[in-house]
Structure 1
Amino acid sequence: MAARLAVAASERGSASLEFLTVGIILLVPLVYLVLAVAAIQGGALAVEGAARQAARIAVQASAEGAADAAVDRAVRVTLADYGVDADAASVTIECSAADCLEPGSRIRVSVVARVSLPLVPDFLALEAVGSVPLEASATQTVSRFARSGS
């Protein structure tokens, strides 16, 4: 009986230490998961917003050359607002008609960007490991009154 009491006394407080150890081991990956999901969600919102704004600007342009420059500027500004590297993003513009600015034609803008995962060191930030590719597209129709004043 005295031996049991001596063993119980020597283990006093070890349950709280084990609880803290297991808690930390489970908490660190959970916090990283929340940070990673937040970064990916922010990137998804950035890419979607950039595609939507670029499509809106593309249908309101007066000439195709001006539309390309305005779309590029809109994508860069929108991605920069969300902290996404705009230099690594790619933009694709597709038209339903031969003349993109013909009234009634549809313009589809696709934006592809890579979002870096948080807390990944630079030497491990490989293209496939340290970032997630995100893509969004938006379609707008050129107004039928777009060239009525010309």
Structure 2
Amino acid sequence: MKKRVIISMALATVLATGLYAKGNCDRGCDYNKSSKMMKKSHKGGFMSFVYNLDLDDKQKEQIQTIKKEMMKKRFAKKDSAFTATDFDKEKYIQLMKQKRENMIESKAEMIDKIYKVLNKDQKKQLKEMMDKRKERFSSMMKKRMNFDKNCNGRG
């Protein structure tokens, strides 16, 4: 008798756990979709502002061409600090510093080329969007700073 009760309790627990997990998955299993959307929207970066502008088809095509060109340059074959038997620490450090500098220069070049594709109104709209983001960020930081000052004994 006790054995049947224990088995039925264990079975009920397993089933309940499975149903609970299934219910949570129905509500929150959009993780992959949302992460893909976030990557696609370039949340918060320069390109997100550009994509929010009213671009004509020619501008969209030019921007895509610029991006492809920059990607080819970014992932071009580079020298390596590794050989079959050795690792050159100094060369590795030098390559990583160059990579960082090149990335900054490449991004600035891409922004410059894309900016030249935009018309006057789009440039004005882009600047307004960037200013709004800056204001939102500074007001958010201001709220955080005020919150920290007034927290029970901290600050």
Asked whether the two chains share a fold, i.e. TM above 0.5, the reply is no
Pick the structure with more strand per residue: 1
Normalised by the length of structure 1, the TM-score is 0.34
Whichever structure has more helix as a proportion of its residues is: 2
TM-score by length of 2: 0.33
